[in-house]
Amino acid sequence: MARLGRADGLTVREVEILRLVAASMTNRQTAERLGLSIRTVDAHLRSIYAKLGIKSRSAATRYAVEHNLA
C-alpha cells in the first residue's frame, strides 16, 4: 500500500516517520529504528512539512496528536 488514502496525501512511510517525530525521536534515532539513512529521514520530513504546510517539528507533533497519529 503506497498511500493511506488520507486527504493530506502522506505515504505510509511518512506517517511512520511522523509518529516517531511525535514520540520525540531524533532524525538519527528514527533512521536507526527504520533502517534508513539520516538523509532519507530528512527528505521524508521535508516532504511531510510541504504536504502539511508546516515548518517545524513541534508543528508536526501537533498535527500527529490532532490526527491521532501519536
Q: pLDDT for 6-64, tens place per residue?
A: 658 999 999 999 999 999 999 999 999 999 999 999 999 999 999 999 999 999 999 99
Element spanning 1, H or E: none
Residue keyed to cell 505515504: 11
Residue 6 lies in a domain: no
Domain tally, the chain: 1
pTM reported for the whole predicted model: 0.87
pLDDT at 70: 84
Domain containing 43 — which CATH number?
1.10.10.10
Q: Is 17 within the bounds of a domain?
A: yes
How crowded is the C-beta side of 66, counted as CA atoms within 13 Å?
7
Residue at 28 is within a domain: yes
Report the C-alpha gap between 50 and 4 in whole angstroms: 17
Domain of 41 in residue numbering reads as 12-66
